[in-house]
């Protein structure tokens, strides 16, 4: 028997297991929560579009990964800091010949950063790590435990690093979130006339290579609307994917000529609102 099997589980983890890491959707409680951390760093509580609850994200990279999956049209649940059963992690560590995660001689529960459920396909387990951490032996060993566990349970596992999302993409995803928060794709409460999206694009296209944000302000003055009106409609169009744009660059730098109407998304939203 592995020496680790004879060690006790950390008391704080024993307490957490009674209530955390259980449930789905709005009822899920993450195993690790912000208040458990001695140093908050980049940790943040982020409201979820899909679940309608606050998500506990422990780093800026986790927030970026969460924003991507929370924005995905087919996502139906996101569970962060998901615990792996101790018996399984102990068994896998013994099989792989590695030391089980522990602190001060007490075993710690292994968690996966994100467990994402989708419509019409299986779930995806996502481990989020900065590239700078991947040279550390203990980081690799923990990832091996996660990968082995999810693969043996038939769940796809992926590693997400800070190379997966540019600072500009993260900025853009955070920019559209206020339009989406607390709503499903078919239940957005933002008040906009759907026909205004093609009309907005038509107006913006007339400016050619000028920047979108500046042209939206010009259009507000031209049509006698309150400041930010055109930009808010534009943000709604981006958030609902009706407007295609160069998301890998900051929205501040987008040019009017780079925008296009996604006809399929526009038709989808027109039907949803008509119903």
Annotate the chain with three-state secondary structure: CCHHHHCCECHHHHHHHHHCCECCHHHCECCCCHHHCCCCCCCEEEECCCCCCEEEECCHHHHHHHHHHHHCCCEEEEEEEEECCHHHHHHHHHHHCCCCCEECCEECCCEEEEEEEECCEEEEEEEECCHHHCCCHHHHHHHHHHHHHHHHCCCEEEEECCCCCCHHHHHHHHHHHHHHCCCCCCCCCCCCCCCHHHHHHHHHHCCCCCEHHHHHHHHHHHCCCCCCHHHHHHHHHHHCCCEECCCCCCHHHCEHHHCEECHHHHHHHHHHHHC
Q: Is residue 175 part of a domain?
A: no
Average pLDDT of the segment spanning 15-43? 92
Beta strands at 243-244 and 260-261: parallel, antiparallel or unpaired = antiparallel
Domain identity same for 8 and 134: yes
Asked if 206 and 141 sit in the same domain, the reply is no
Verify that 126 and 192 share a domain, yes or no: no
- 67 domain-assigned: yes
Rounded to whole angstroms, the Cα distance separating 204 from 190 reads 21
Q: What is the CATH number of the domain that holds 129?
A: 3.40.1350.10
Tokens 């001689």 correspond to: 105
53 within a domain of the structure (yes/no): yes
Asked whether the beta carbons of 205 and 257 are under 8 A apart, the reply is yes
117 and 231 share a domain? no
The average pLDDT across 21-28 equals 96
Q: Does residue 113 form part of some domain?
A: yes
Q: Which of 160, 195, 216 is the last residue of a domain?
A: 160
Average pLDDT of the residues in 60-79: 94
**CATH number of 203's domain:** 1.10.10.10
Kindly state whether residues 50 and 156 are assigned to the same domain. yes
Sequence length of the chain is: 275
Residue 263 belongs to domain spanning: 184-274
Please report whether residue 179 resides in a domain.
no
Angle at 157 between CA 21 and CA 129, to 5 degrees: 80
Q: Are 46 and 149 contained in the same domain?
A: yes
130 shares its domain with 31? yes
- Name which residue leads in pLDDT, 185 or 144: 144
Of the two residues 49 and 217, the one the predictor is more confident about is: 217
How confident is the model at residue 266, as a pLDDT?
46
Asked if the structure places residue 7 within a domain, the reply is yes
Question: Cβ neighbours of residue 153 under 8 Å, at least 6 residues apart?
Answer: none
Q: For the chain, what is the domain count? A: 2
pTM of the full predicted structure? 0.85
Comparing CA positions, the residue from 146, 171, 164 lying closest to residue 65 is 164
Q: Of 160, 176, 197, which residue is a domain's last?
A: 160
Residue 194, pLDDT above cutoff 90 = no
Q: Is residue 55 part of a domain?
A: yes
Is the per-residue pLDDT at 234 higher than 80?
yes
């Amino acid at each position: 028997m592995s020496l680790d099997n004879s060690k006790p589980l950390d008391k704080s983890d024993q307490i957490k297991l009674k209530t955390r890491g259980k449930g789905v959707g709005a009822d899920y409680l993450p195993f690790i929560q912000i208040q458990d951390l001695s140093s908050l760093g980049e940790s943040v509580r982020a409201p979820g579009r899909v679940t309608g609850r606050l998500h506990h994200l422990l780093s800026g990279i986790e927030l970026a990964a969460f924003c991507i999956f929370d924005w995905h049209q087919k996502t139906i649940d996101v569970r962060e800091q998901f615990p792996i059963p101790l018996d399984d992690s102990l068994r896998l560590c013994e099989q792989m010949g590695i030391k089980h995660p522990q602190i001060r001689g007490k075993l710690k529960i292994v968690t996966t950063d994100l467990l994402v459920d989708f419509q019409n396909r299986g779930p995806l387990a996502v481990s989020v790590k900065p590239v700078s951490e991947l040279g550390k032996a203990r980081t690799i060993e923990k990832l091996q435990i996660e990968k082995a566990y999810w693969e043996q349970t038939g769940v796809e596992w992926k590693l997400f690093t800070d190379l997966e999302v540019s600072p500009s993409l993260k900025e853009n995803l955070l920019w559209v979130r206020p339009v989406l928060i607390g709503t499903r794709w078919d239940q957005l409460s933002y008040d906009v006339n759907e026909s205004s999206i093609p009309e907005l694009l038509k107006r913006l296209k007339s400016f050619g290579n000028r920047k979108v944000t500046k042209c939206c302000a010009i259009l507000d003055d031209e049509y006698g609307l309150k400041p930010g009106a055109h930009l808010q409609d534009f943000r709604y169009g981006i958030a609902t994917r009706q407007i295609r744009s160069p998301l890998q660059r900051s929205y501040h730098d987008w040019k009017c000529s780079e925008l296009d109407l996604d006809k399929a998304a526009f038709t989808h939203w027109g039907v949803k609102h008509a119903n």
